Structure 1
Amino acid sequence: MARFSEKVNVTICGGGNGAHTLAGLSSLVENANVTVIDVYEDEAERWTETMKSMGFTVKFSDGESLYQKPGEVKFRVSRDVKSVVPKSDILIICVPAYTHETYLNLVSPYVPDACPVIGMPGQPGFEYQALTILKENDRKCTVMSVETLPWACRISKYGQEVDVVGTKEEVRYTLVEKLRQDKKTLKMDPASIIQTILGQKPKLYREKNILKYTFLCIPTIHPPIMYARWRNWDGKPLNASPLFYQGADEDAVKYMNGVTDESIEIAIALTKKVPDQDFSVVSTMQEWLLDHYTDQITDKRSLFTCLKTNKAYDGLLHPTTKTSDGKYVPDLTYRYVREDVPYGLIVIRQIAEMVGVETPVIDEIILWAQEKLGKEYLKDGKLCKLDRENGRLPLTYGIRTIEEFVSFFA
């Protein structure tokens, strides 16, 4: 069993797939005292009551199950931010990016300076968003951003059971200590805490160049697949929800490659603009998949075959809602659009604007997404101003140029 050398108070914010998985795994680490903060409606109460009678299980696709019996579950769920957060040794925000603002505002007045604040997943811009809100509350915390959830996971029974379909081989993160004064007061290195919770897989790797970290592929996976599948949808309900990754066609592959090709062009321009920083290894989508799912992809010849034969993606479906007659229509406001566009693609899009790189594929997807979300991110080829609740443009946080982006973290 994994263990911490001393007691560590782990606070997890969230109530979704990732928070369920993280709570189940972290609570089994020896010397971990785990509390989940869930402030959405009555989820904390429902989750607590369910565990009292049913216990809690993390199930893996290889058949392994980590079961905690009723009355013996080693974590608790609460909505009491004021009593839980001040005792935290590490605080992990495990929610979609569009709720980061909510949780950061809730916890920042109470989080100890010696407690690192971690976004998992962070998504582009978590670092400057968290630093800004912490500073507004006179907090001096270390900020860590983990590029993606370590697992493909789905709640099968709320508050009782979560399925881990696949686990990534590696995951990258950033670490910023700009606000800190006495760096010796941290109980443990936050990356070491997260690695202990995750176990041997995935392996965490630090990316020191936050600009490059912004181009990691996570925000560029979901929107192209959604766009390719639903841009010409005729509005007629379907008999079943289509496969998401494994149902991607050549049109989806074209848009996925188009977005990452444009990201690589931006990285090349940044190499000239900021020559003292390393912008190498900004991956193609195929390279990213092979890095993260090496042993789970059986046909590695192309992006198309990687998507089709990735065991970690087995059975994962497009987000849909069921109609009254038992058919299915797409949920075009799901986080694959609602999160990955205003907290992903538009961040990349502003950086492209800063260095003068045109992004026709990214623009095409953003224009489609903003119509579905009822928002306005692009108009006449220019980014629109956004408040902090509607997106994470660097401009919203006073970052107008590449030089200001780099100096923000100095």
Structure 2
Amino acid sequence: MKVLIYGDGNSAHIIAPMLAAAGQEVSLFTLGAPSRWCQEVSAEYWNEHHEKVFTVKGRLAAVSDRPEMLVPQAEVIILCMPVSQYRPALHEIARHLRPEQQVCLGTIYGQGGFNWMVEEVQRKYRLPNIKYFAFGLIPWIARIGEYGRRGITYGGKASNCVALHPDSDFALLKQEIFDNISLRWFGAGEAQQSPDFISLTLSVDNQIIHPTRCYALAQVSGGQWDSAESVPYFYRDYDQLSVEYLQRLDDDYSLIRQELRRRFPAKTFPFMLDYLALERFSYASSNTDILSTFVNSKTLREIRTPVVQLPNGKWGFDITHRFFSDDIYYGVCIAKWFAQQLDLETPMADEILHWVEGLKGEKLLDEQKRLLTASPALAAPFASGLPEYYGRRDLAALLD
């Protein structure tokens, strides 16, 4: 298959060499300088002792910063970028697709309503032949060892779930794409088919982990530190207050999931899971408490809290980081929208959103704690992913 990797972030440095080594014709669209990319790229697997176990090498067919040079030839296009960048990227891609072109658009992280995003461009640009897929979670932790040349991963998840439309194409894409970015190399991470995309949007991972951890750090320290070195590690230093906030936000999401199951009993939602259930599915772990999933993780220990130096010389949260742009506006806000349609209260989500309002100087909620859907913070083009911004308000139509 002719595969286009659209984006040049961490995950692109893993998926590109893996698919190329598996025999796919892989090209890459970069937002930077194409000259910084080598034709031969590699993905290194390191164990928990920081020892290199093996290397997967592949050759790129083409690298360009001009989508019009790559998109028209692609059969599969995989987005490798933060969730909040999916929509503008899909609109750019759609402008270079031919109406008759048979193409499958996908992402290896399906948070935020990826199917709504694809259907938006499908309607706007009249592209009847688009197919699309999304992984529930990124199949592995990815790092850049050397930009444009070498990626590093600490191993794949035990299991992956993938939603696909139309679902009849699952076997082919599983063989050609899905299992070639994990199972082939690690002997684990086989792709299982999700019957719906909504489970990927409402199954919690980053969108409850990142905001609640940042919020807990802010409560303890005021959200500012004297030096970058004094900022706690994001997971290694995970504490009980962070656990409490995560559990409370997970409880808000669980109310939404339970009510959807109650109102739509014909739907099975097998992958619409709470945090610990999702963690056990993804990692085949035996963890029974949230704290141990982070403190005992061999792959998350080195991840630092995203901070920048503030005008006062101290260090504070980087509010442009994907922990906010993705996990608030394409995560918590979407859950809050569903809760409103279901007449559910979400006390922890409200608390998080109110904190973000103060941090960013924006208005997200009114005095009744309802989303201000006309606020520029939410309604500006591509700022957030509320279903109504796609012209969708009927709950039943959102559950596929």
TM > 0.5 between the two? yes
Counterpart contact for 1:273–1:355, Cα < 8 Å: no
Q: Secondary structure at the match of 1:82?
A: helix
State the one-letter code of the partner of 2:384: G
The corresponding residue for 1:227 is: 215
Distance 1:74 1:236, change over 3 A: closer
Counterpart contact for 1:166–1:311, Cα < 8 Å: no
* C-alpha deviation, 1:187, in angstroms: 11
Instruction: Give the Cα–Cα distance (whole angstroms) in 1 for the partners of residues 155 and 44 of structure 2.
Output: 11
The corresponding residue for 1:89 is: 75
* Residue 114 of structure 2 is aligned to residue 126 of structure 1: yes
Counterpart contact for 1:152–1:167, Cα < 8 Å: yes
The corresponding residue for 1:136 is: 124
Distance 1:111 1:120, change over 3 A: farther
Counterpart mapping for 1:272-311 below 5 A: 272-279=262-269, 282-294=272-284, 300-311=287-298
**One of 3, 6, 12 as aligned partner of 1:13:** 6
* C-alpha deviation, 1:364, in angstroms: 1.0
State the one-letter code of the partner of 2:76: I
Instruction: Give the Cα–Cα distance (whole angstroms) in 1 for the partners of residues 102 and 44 of structure 2.
Output: 34
* C-alpha deviation, 1:80, in angstroms: 2.2
Counterpart contact for 1:20–1:162, Cα < 8 Å: yes
Instruction: Give the Cα–Cα distance (whole angstroms) in 1 for the partners of residues 353 and 92 of structure 2.
Output: 30
Q: Secondary structure at the match of 1:21?
A: helix
* C-alpha deviation, 1:16, in angstroms: 0.7
Number of matched pairs = 380
The corresponding residue for 1:104 is: 90
Distance 1:259 1:106, change over 3 A: same
* C-alpha deviation, 1:77, in angstroms: 1.9
* C-alpha deviation, 1:378, in angstroms: 2.0
Which stretch has the larger CA shift, 188-197 or 127-136? Answer: 188-197
* C-alpha deviation, 1:209, in angstroms: 3.1
The corresponding residue for 2:41 is: 56
* C-alpha deviation, 1:326, in angstroms: 11
**One of 254, 257, 270 as aligned partner of 1:264:** 254
State the one-letter code of the partner of 1:190: L
State the one-letter code of the partner of 1:251: L
The corresponding residue for 2:140 is: 151
Counterpart contact for 2:28–2:60, Cα < 8 Å: no
Q: Structure 2: which 5+ residue stretches go unaligned?
A: 374-378
* Residue 204 of structure 2 is aligned to residue 217 of structure 1: yes
Counterpart contact for 1:333–1:373, Cα < 8 Å: no
Q: Secondary structure at the match of 1:396?
A: helix
Instruction: Give the Cα–Cα distance (whole angstroms) in 1 for the partners of residues 170 and 397 of structure 2.
Output: 32
Query: CA offsets, 1:307-339, max 9 Å, x none?
Result: 111212132221233689998543233111211
Q: Secondary structure at the match of 1:253?
A: helix
- Taking every aligned residue pair, what percent have the same amino acid on both sides? 20
Counterpart contact for 2:135–2:160, Cα < 8 Å: yes
Instruction: Give the Cα–Cα distance (whole angstroms) in 2 for the partners of residues 373 and 173 of structure 1.
Output: 34
Counterpart contact for 2:236–2:294, Cα < 8 Å: yes
The corresponding residue for 1:163 is: 152
* C-alpha deviation, 1:110, in angstroms: 2.7
Instruction: Give the Cα–Cα distance (whole angstroms) in 2 for the partners of residues 213 and 267 of structure 1.
Output: 12
Instruction: Give the Cα–Cα distance (whole angstroms) in 2 for the partners of residues 326 and 198 of structure 1.
Output: 43
Instruction: Give the Cα–Cα distance (whole angstroms) in 2 for the partners of residues 74 and 223 of structure 1.
Output: 37
Q: Secondary structure at the match of 2:299?
A: helix
Instruction: Give the Cα–Cα distance (whole angstroms) in 1 for the partners of residues 12 and 328 of structure 2.
Output: 22
* Residue 377 of structure 2 is aligned to residue 392 of structure 1: no
Instruction: Give the Cα–Cα distance (whole angstroms) in 2 for the partners of residues 346 and 83 of structure 1.
Output: 36
Counterpart contact for 1:231–1:368, Cα < 8 Å: no
Instruction: Give the Cα–Cα distance (whole angstroms) in 2 for the partners of residues 192 and 382 of structure 1.
Output: 45
Instruction: Give the Cα–Cα distance (whole angstroms) in 2 for the partners of residues 371 and 189 of structure 1.
Output: 48
- TM-score by structure 1 length? 0.84
Instruction: Give the Cα–Cα distance (whole angstroms) in 2 for the partners of residues 158 and 343 of structure 1.
Output: 27
Q: Structure 1: which 5+ residue stretches go unaligned?
A: 1-7
* Residue 26 of structure 2 is aligned to residue 34 of structure 1: yes
Counterpart contact for 2:44–2:151, Cα < 8 Å: yes
Instruction: Give the Cα–Cα distance (whole angstroms) in 2 for the partners of residues 327 and 164 of structure 1.
Output: 32
Distance 1:325 1:124, change over 3 A: closer
State the one-letter code of the partner of 1:172: C
Instruction: Give the Cα–Cα distance (whole angstroms) in 2 for the partners of residues 89 and 44 of structure 1.
Output: 24
**One of 341, 355, 360 as aligned partner of 1:354:** 341
* Residue 238 of structure 2 is aligned to residue 248 of structure 1: yes
Counterpart contact for 2:5–2:12, Cα < 8 Å: yes
Query: CA offsets, 1:95-129, max 9 Å, x none?
Result: 11111122101111333542111022121211111
* C-alpha deviation, 1:231, in angstroms: 4.0
CA RMSD of aligned residues (A): 2.7
Counterpart contact for 1:151–1:165, Cα < 8 Å: yes
* Residue 47 of structure 2 is aligned to residue 47 of structure 1: no
**One of 370, 373, 379 as aligned partner of 1:382:** 370
State the one-letter code of the partner of 2:345: E
* C-alpha deviation, 1:281, in angstroms: 6.1
